[in-house]
Amino acid sequence: MLKRICILTVLLLAFGVAPLLAQTFEIDKIHSSVGFSIRHIVTKVKGRFIDFSGQIVYDSSKIENSSVNVTIDAASINTDNEKRDGHLKSADFFEVEKYPQITFHSTKVFRQKDQLMLTGLLNMHGVEKEITFPFEVLGIFKSGSGKMSGGFEAGLKSDRTDFGIAWNRPLELGGLLLGDEVTIDLNIEARETEEETEQK
């Protein structure tokens, strides 16, 4: 990871672009995705959230100055099955009328050996939990509009029952219809805002 950042810095300098120290980005929803998957009997069902927004502050020289804030519209859940999506929005799962938003607010960004790590508070279904997971900076580049953009990627696993989402159904031959572990995949492109980020 450190090697990738160093190579990126060299390339930016070669093209006459100064490497960013601290910059504020807004998530570009059109070029980003918030996806998930969960075991259904013996296979995995995938889904995504369509409506989300957020801000990323990325400081390449002092990573602990970076931060992430994301808000997801729980009712925008989509698994390409209208009946299933309706069930997921109900009180058995996300209970979107009572808990319309899923939020994440970072509390710490740090390096752990050769990985970048993010710690923060995930609030879902009215329950707030601290989680820590690795993330990757795919690159910082100048778009056609002349503004800087950044690519970020993260993957994590979470137990849905920790957030009070515990609905399940026993199978005739034993076991349960759904798994408890949910895999979350974040692929984010974010664009520079006009806001200046104060250096620390």
Q: Cα-atom radius of gyration of the chain, to the nearest Å?
A: 19
Instruction: Domain of residue 29: give its range.
Output: 20-192
Amino acid at 6: C
Can you tell me whether residue 180 is helix, strand or coil? strand
Cα 24-53-78 angle, rounded to 5 deg:
150
Three-state DSSP state, 92: coil
- pLDDT on residue 147: 85
Per DSSP, the three-state class of 20 is: coil
Residue 13 lies in a domain: no
pLDDT at position 11, please?
A: 44
Which helix (DSSP H) or strand (DSSP E) does residue 139 occupy?
strand 127-142
Going by the DSSP 8-state scheme, the letter that residue 195 receives in this structure is P
For residue 49, is it within any domain?
yes
Does a structural domain hold residue 7? no
Task: Report the chain's terminal Cα–Cα distance, integer Å.
Answer: 24
| Amino acid at the residue 34 | V
* CATH number, domain containing residue 51: 2.40.128.110
d(CA 102, CA 124): 5
The pLDDT assigned to 194 comes to 65
Q: What integer pLDDT is reported at residue 38 of this predicted model?
A: 98
Residue 6 counted as domain residue: no
Nearest alpha carbon to residue 39 among 179, 180, 157: 179
- Does some domain include residue 147? yes
| Total count of domains within the chain | 1
Residues across the chain: 200
Q: What is the pLDDT along the chain (200 residues), one digit of tens a residue?
A: 444 444 444 444 344 344 556 899 999 999 999 999 999 999 999 999 999 999 999 998 999 999 999 999 999 999 999 999 999 999 999 999 999 999 999 999 999 999 999 999 999 999 999 999 999 999 999 877 778 999 999 999 999 999 999 999 999 989 999 999 999 999 999 999 865 444 44
Q: Confirm whether 44 is domain-assigned.
A: yes
11 found inside a domain: no
2 lies in some domain:
no
To 5 degrees, how large is the angle CA 195–CA 120–CA 34? 75
